Amino acid sequence: MNIYLYGGPDRLSATLPIVENNEAVSLGQTYKIDSETGFLLVAYPNTDVETEFEFSYTLEGYYQVEIVGGQPE
């Protein structure tokens, strides 16, 4: 199986390689991409080989807290 991960706001402009040297993704590896970047996952099987493919992704929240008036005691 050949799987590549690219960053970009949509499928036509997702050309930023997420994996170093534009290598294929590795099984069991976690890749983190900022939600503002977006991603495109390209997967295709090897010729004449029965293949199954599954992936999962998680959206995690990120926020900043600004404390006004100093730290609570």
pLDDT for res 19: 92
Residue 60 lies in a domain: no
Q: How confident is the model over 45-57, as pLDDT tens digits? A: 999 989 888 888 8
Contact 7, 16 (CB under 8 A): yes
Q: Is residue 51 part of a domain?
A: no
Total domain count, the chain: 1
pLDDT tens profile 12-38: 999 999 999 999 998 888 888 887 888
Alpha carbon 21 to its chain's center: 15
> Which residues are registered as beta bridge partners of 4?
42
Specify if 61 maps to a domain.
no
Mean pLDDT value of segment 4-10: 92
27 assigned to some structural domain: yes
Is residue 24 in some structural domain? yes
Domain range enclosing 6: 2-44
CA dihedral angle for residue 45, residue 41, residue 16, residue 1, rounded to 10 degrees: -20
